[in-house]
């Protein structure tokens, strides 16, 4: 199974913009923190800008948050990034001649929809500020 880290990287990028707002905000520097290619950061910035979460200026490495971190939810970030937005997936290849295989897809999809909605509600309740506070608190504990 292949995992996408775009959501995690987008949160990382936004937290970086807030924590280092007076520092080097070039895609190369942010990419060093994420341990990714600068093109990955630029693509994420494009998605985040399109969603109205960051502001960028052509020819200047001065991206910034478009809103206060407390007003940006994890759900806002999740929907901003270009990924498959289904959290869990039903296997579409089951044997329709079997009582289980013929009925599992619809039954699981209903359950998965409920699970996904609960996850989205949790994402809406957690702000970027909560993540930033956690990062800074963890940093203080490690000193």
Checking if the pLDDT of 2 tops 70, the result is: no
Q: What angle do CA 75, 89, 86 make, to 5 degrees?
A: 20
Distant-in-sequence, close-in-space partners of 109: CB < 8 Å, separation ≥ 6: 90
Q: What is the pLDDT of residue 141?
A: 85
Rg, the chain, Cα only: 19
- Domains, the chain, in order of start with CATH, read 6-142 (1.10.10.10)
User: Under a CB-based contact definition with an 8 Å cutoff, are residues 17 and 24 in contact?
Assistant: no
Closest CA to 16 of 128, 108, 107: 128
pLDDT digits (tens, 9 = 90+) for 70-124: 999 999 999 999 877 788 889 989 999 999 999 999 999 999 999 999 999 999 9
pTM for the structure as a whole:
0.88
Q: Give the position of tokens 């109205």.
A: 52
> What would the 3-class secondary structure string for 44-68 be?
HHHHHHHCCCEEEECCEEEEEECCC
């Amino acid at each position: 199974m292949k995992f996408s880290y775009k959501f995690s990287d987008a949160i990382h990028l936004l937290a970086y913009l807030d924590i280092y707002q007076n520092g080097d905000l070039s895609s190369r520097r942010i990419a060093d923190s994420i341990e990714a290619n600068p093109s990955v950061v630029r693509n994420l910035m494009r998605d985040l800008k399109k969603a109205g979460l960051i502001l960028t200026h052509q020819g200047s490495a001065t991206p910034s948050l478009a809103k206060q971190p407390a007003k940006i939810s994890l759900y806002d970030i999740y929907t901003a990034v270009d990924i498959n937005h289904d959290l869990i997936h039903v296997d579409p290849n089951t044997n329709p001649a079997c009582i289980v295989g013929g009925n599992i897809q619809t039954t699981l999809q209903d359950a998965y929809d409920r699970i996904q909605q609960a996850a989205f509600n949790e994402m809406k309740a957690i702000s970027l500020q909560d993540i930033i506070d956690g990062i800074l608190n963890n940093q203080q504990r490690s000193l």
